[in-house]
């Protein structure tokens, strides 16, 4: 009985560790994506502004 409880605890611990790693990766990817998107929008706005003056 004790081994069964320990086995369940280990499985739950591993599942939480995997979920934590996935969320950490997604957070990093979200920050990188936001920075890239902001850069593209800024570049596009600057380029569009210059083409209006011509």
Query: Residues 17-26: pLDDT tens digits?
Result: 999 999 999 9
Minimal CA–CA distance to 17: which of 6, 25, 5?
25
Q: Is the pLDDT of residue 13 over 90?
A: yes
Give CA separation, 8 vs 4, 17, 37, in Å. Answer: 6, 14, 43
d(CA 21, CA 12): 14
**pLDDT attached to residue 49:** 76
Q: Is the pLDDT of residue 6 over 80?
A: yes
Q: Is pLDDT larger for residue 27 or for residue 45?
A: 27
Angle subtended at Cα 46 by Cα 33 and Cα 38, rounded to the nearest 5 degrees: 15
Q: How confident is the model at residue 34 (pLDDT cuts 50, 70, 90)?
A: very high
């Amino acid at each position: 009985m004790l081994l069964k409880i320990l086995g369940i605890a280990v499985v739950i611990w591993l599942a939480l560790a995997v979920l934590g790693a996935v969320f950490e990766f997604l957070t990093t990817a979200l920050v990188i994506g936001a920075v890239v998107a902001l850069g593209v929008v800024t570049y596009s706005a600057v380029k569009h502004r210059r083409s209006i003056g011509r």
